[in-house]
Amino acid sequence: MIPLDIIHTVSSNLGFDACGVCEAKAFRSERDQLLHWLHKGMHADMGYMERNLEKRIDPTLLVPGAKSVISVLLSYYPGNPTIATQPPKISRYALCTDYHTVIKQMLWQMLELLRKECGPVNGRAFVDSAPVLERAWAQNAGLGWIGKNGLLIHPKLGTYTFIGELIVDIEIEPSNSTVTNRCGTCTRCMDACPTGAIVKPGVVDARRCISYLTIEKKTPLAEQERQSLNGWCFGCDICQEVCPWNGKLETTKCQGLQPKAEILGLNAQSILNLSNEDFHNIFGETPISRAGYEHFMLNCKSITNR
């Protein structure tokens, strides 16, 4: 069995902010929760959430022979730039180069380093782009607890973190450090959500979520939905902004996740004057490109015209 210290050292040397390990096994309780959420239609039109259900639950179906799941966290907290606090607002996670690219490259580097340290290792890297229950794995690896807003809360890094996994076919000493849920009686995230999307602790109804409405929804927004955007044109950080665990965070040290100067320099007027070419030049390598020019501009105009 590979000592956990080796994994922590490799992770730290690569620049990850936290790392934990747990055994690769099926999560049956999470399966029931996911099925209930899907049955209630809370995934809206995100049909991909219904596919590959068993793979989401069991990592051995994703990586044959999988024995361990290495979970890593990387802070992306950029502070409080104007573009994230004054309409039309952009969620903090989208101000930088697409995190999928940054973290996946770091995870492949981790796999190569593990091969040098431990011998033959087969595995796959995952960053929010495959059927993986990333928050459940991170929680089981001792990296935090699931808050009432449904996000992983790390006691030092808060919620402004990206999660990645490296599922490998070697046995690694598990973290064995469960972090107690420390939300207590606090309901700030639930109280602050303007659309009531957090229907109960840990459960978010995507149909009401501003992030879903501004990013994922494929059909045109109804007038009531447009009125509910609360100044956000891409994503939403409200439930994170009010979380006490985000009160005293340091900004990210990862160079690959620094906010792009071109985005920080935008204001309402310059955004409204963006051409299609401008949009792709500024946002092309960021998560904002997912929304597309027309969807993004329609959101912005709906907000600034009110």
How far from each other are the two terminal CA atoms of the chain, in whole angstroms? 60
Those residues whose C-beta lies under 8 Å from the C-beta of residue 40, and which sit 6 or more positions away, are 205
Residues 291/98, Cβ–Cβ less than 8 Å: no
| Dist. CA 277–CA 280, nearest whole Å | 5
| Dist. CA 12–CA 6, nearest whole Å | 10
SS3 161: strand
| Dist. CA 198–CA 212, nearest whole Å | 13
> Which position among 45, 58, 128, 169 bears the catalytic label?
128
| Dist. CA 256–CA 100, nearest whole Å | 11
Residues 230/302, Cβ–Cβ less than 8 Å: no
> The tokens of 175 are what?
């973290």
128 is known as an active-site residue: yes
Residues 35/89, Cβ–Cβ less than 8 Å: no
Residues labelled as active-site residues: 128
